[in-house]
Amino acid sequence: MFNLFKLFSSGHGSGSVAEKDPAMEALKAAASANANEKQPSSTNIPALPIQPLNLPSLAKLRGKHVVLASSSPRRRDILAQVGIHPHVVPSTFAETLSKEDFAHDAHAYPINTATEKGKEVYERMVMEDDKNSPDLVISADTVVLVPDNAPSLSKGQSWDEAHGEMSYSVCEKPIDKADQYRMLADASGRSLQVVTGVCITYPTLQAPGYAQRTFANATTVHFFDIDPYTIDRYIDTNEGIDRAGGFAVQGLGAFMVEGITGDYNNVVGFPLAEFVRFLDTLIENDEDVLQVE
């Protein structure tokens, strides 16, 4: 950089000594002081502790006996993001509902499975210790819907616009690596729908002593074209064998995904944003929620 100070302090001839200019000396002193002044740094700003998210529903959950009817660490971690730390009690429901019974409403399949999971856990816990029954049981089931014919979505096109009343294959967790390969080969170059059915079970004063409320969240996942060699290498990692659809979007499986339309957390395993809003509405409209002891 051109040095203004050097220019003005240099002699004007061989062996000459420049007279000090008081104005220039003042400018140099100011520049030196500015250079030595400690500049603000982000490291000097103290980190503020994260406070609880005080939404009505989340505040009411504090101190309550909340149960997650799932052994999924991903669902547990997602709930922890908003301060929900449930007691984990995995459901023993066999998940043997017939997919053919839901051929015309694929979203109803995970909703019904989640409902049965919640029912099984709530009834079992009440039977084991009715003085320590849950205030709220959260259950969920995630599936992947693969359209039988439509290859992909056009840009800006919704799932319903593209697929309408078309038939689907419902994919849950692969039964083995060959099944996982089939699922990923079906996903290659296509847009699939990840659907999570969620059920909230809570005690009421009316028979049978509890109520259940449900919703489903759908997220569209767009896959790159995946060649057989790449599918094999992914399967070799052992990831995705325990996930609906055979892939983990939050892990190595992310490299196969071109984009996501909808809730990312839903693809991971639990639609957190819709759950919080659903719980807010439920508490507002049903006085039994988190009130019946």
Q: Point out the residues that are catalytic.
A: 141
Tokens of 41: 């740094």
For residues 174 and 246, the answer to whether their CB atoms sit within 8 Å is yes
- d(CA 67, CA 100) in angstroms, rounded, equals 31
On the CB side of 204, CA atoms within 13 Å amount to 14
- d(CA 118, CA 225) in angstroms, rounded, equals 38
- d(CA 106, CA 113) in angstroms, rounded, equals 12
261 bridge partner residues: 220
- Could you tell me which of 33, 24, 32, 30 has the C-alpha nearest to residue 5? 24
On the CB side of 46, CA atoms within 13 Å amount to 2
